[in-house]
Copies of this chain bind each other. A is one copy, B any other.
Amino acid sequence: MQTGQTRRYHHGDLRAALLTRAEETLKEKGPAALSLRELARDLGVSHAAPSRHFKDKQALLDALAEAGFDRLGEALAASQETADESFADRLGALARAYVGFATANAELLDLMFSIKHDPAASDALIKASQGMSVLGLHLIEDGQRRGEVREGPVASIATPLFTTLHGFAALAVSGALPSGTLKTDLEYVIAHTLRGCAPDAPGPA
């Protein structure tokens, strides 16, 4: 039956389609313009259909954020595989991957770190964000083993690192950092962070 009509067309996966379309309009028209009714219209279903897959508008946003964390995690992990073995290289690659993701997904990052998540979804979210920081921990432990990172509790280095990375990404995304000097600013930040991580003894033994 090749009627040529688009039919109701949603035998398929409405849930996934909603998420995909939501991220598109998020990027195109901003978070304020994201409405369940418009999403349903775009997908050719009734406005009540989405409620079968997301109990809430917030539930959809949470799912979007969770997917964002997954993808950010993947991007960060990938950056480590193409990087050199040295701590400096790995840190640089991590930083560039984080900021790259942030600028390419500005609205999504905003959503991921906004404070509206209901407690139910928060569990999944903090789990996802923790998986991210595990990567930082490994990076530092490895650097300590190689003697390229100062000794001390991992958290005393991992937290400042995570904090700095995210701060740069967040400021770049919000436009608080002049976009003209963004690249050199990032290099400044990487260099500064390396300094903070360096071991005490400057010369060779």
The 0/1 profile, CB within 8 Å of B marked 1, for residues 156-195 of chain A is 1101101111111011011111000100010011011101
Q: How far is the CA of A116 from the CA of B176 in the complex (A)?
A: 13
Count this chain's copies in the assembly.
Answer: 2
Interface window among A13-21, A42-50, A76-84, A107-115: A107-115
Contacts A191-B156, A193-B160, A202-B202 known; A115 to B173 CB distance under 8 Å? yes
The 0/1 profile, CB within 8 Å of B marked 1, for residues 16-51 of chain A is 000000000000001110000000000000000000
Which one, B129, B165, B185, contacts A167 given CB within 8 A? B165
Q: How far is the CA of A192 from the CA of B163 in the complex (A)?
A: 11
* Secondary structure call for the A interface: helix
- Minimum CB–CB distance from A169 to chain B (whole Å) comes to 8
Contacts A31-B116, A163-B168, A165-B167 known; A156 to B126 CB distance under 8 Å? no
Question: Of residues 72 to 125 in A, which have CB atoms within 8 Å of B's CB atoms?
Answer: 106-107, 110, 113-116, 122
Q: How far is the CA of A164 from the CA of B167 in the complex (A)?
A: 6
In which size bucket is the chain A interface? 35 or more
Q: How far is the CA of A189 from the CA of B175 in the complex (A)?
A: 24
Indicate if the CB atoms of A185 and B115 lie closer than 8 Å.
Answer: no
Q: How far is the CA of A142 from the CA of B174 in the complex (A)?
A: 29
Instruction: Mark A residues whose CB is within 8 Å of B.
Output: 30-32, 106-107, 110, 113-116, 122, 126, 129, 155-157, 159-160, 162-168, 170-171, 173-177, 181, 185, 188-189, 191-193, 195-196, 200, 202
The 7 A-B residue pairs whose C-beta atoms are closest, nearest first, are A167-B167, A196-B196, A160-B192, A163-B167, A113-B174, A156-B188, A166-B167
